[in-house]
Amino acid sequence: MKANAHIPVADETALRTLTRTRLTRPAPRPLRALAAEAARRHGGAAGVRAVLAYGSTLRDATLTETLADLYVLTADMTHVSRNPPARLGCRLLPPNVLYLAHETDGMRLRAKYAVLPLAQFARWLRPDVRNPYFWARFAQPARLVWTADDDAVQAVVEAVVQTVTTTMTRATLLLPDDETDWRTLWLRLLRATYASELRVERPDRARAIIEADPEWYAGTVRAVFGDAERASLAALREAARRAHLPGWCCVAAQGKLFSALRLMKAAFTFSGGADYIAFKIERHSGERIELSDWQRRHPIIAGLFLLPRLWRKGVVK
């Protein structure tokens, strides 16, 4: 689908209002402090347009017990990194993932943050992008926890509106013709996107995420499909089919490849990456992994040895 292809949305004003309202909700002071420190690392207001928080950071996570998930959206590639190979890595396979530890109000806080230019972020949210890595994440609730100015706020709002539209269009290809229930739509979508990555999610994970914020998930479906859900669903599905969007098997295969490449890249750029990956596996699956010092020094080789064991146990699918 071309980036400027018309996708029928029942109520664009409602979708834009919902998106702006949710993105600009006040964030806790510790989270804002982490975001400000991440922005400072990349040039502050001169180099960073906005910082987004997403995922469990906004649901059930305690900042002192886990890592916050942040996205640092820079003004250009120069502020992603001073290192030319790192900038090339971000250009070819975004985002770059980094680690941050910061003391504030007597607390030691930690974050895993992704960094890439805002313009590149917006491009990866377009309907013609097969890989759901970006658009599936940011069709879920997110929050602006640091911004350079009002123009940056507006740019992120428009990007997330595009994300929701892209995601809903893709979701129509997962539903039978007579299905319009918003919970079913989101459940099918989240599970399909998990299958497109090397994700380690419990079977009830998607349902728990949806039930944590039904206002957002129902609101996005209502804004896109409107009251006449069947008619709008059919129109979106037809638009997706006319654009020859690939089936989900193709999306999943490409997504797994991209996920594997991103993990290998992170092993070189993310300090503490091996421990972080082990922590994520335990958090989402209950499978505890004890890492040796050798595995921490050689995360890619260790990962290759661990993968068959995790696959047999159903941790990685």
Is residue 98 domain-resident? yes
Q: Where are the beta strands (DSSP E) in 187-259?
A: none
Model confidence at 241, pLDDT cuts 50, 70, 90, reads low
**Across 9-13, 259-263, 301-305, which has the greatest mean pLDDT?**
9-13
Q: Which domain holds residue 46?
A: 12-250
Amino acid symbol at 106: G
In a domain, 204, yes or no: yes
Residues 232, 213, 125, 267, CA torsion sign: negative
Phi and psi angles of residue 20, each rounded to the nearest 5 degrees, phi first = -65, -45
Write down the pLDDT at residue 3: 37
In 3-state terms the chain splits into helix, strand, coil percentages (rounded to 5) of 55, 15, 30
Buried b (16+ CB within 10 A) or exposed e, 245-262: beebeebbeebbebbeeb
**CA distance readout (Å), 205 to 21, 33, 311:** 26, 29, 19
pLDDT in tens, 36-53: 999 999 999 999 999 999
Find the mean pLDDT for residues 145-153: 97
What's the mean pLDDT in 230-234?
A: 56
Does residue 269 lie within any of the structural domains?
Answer: no
In a domain, 263, yes or no: no
pTM for the model stands at 0.80
Count of domains observed in the chain: 1
Name the least confident of 60-64, 171-175, 297-301: 297-301
- How would residue 66 be classed by pLDDT, with cut points 50, 70 and 90? confident
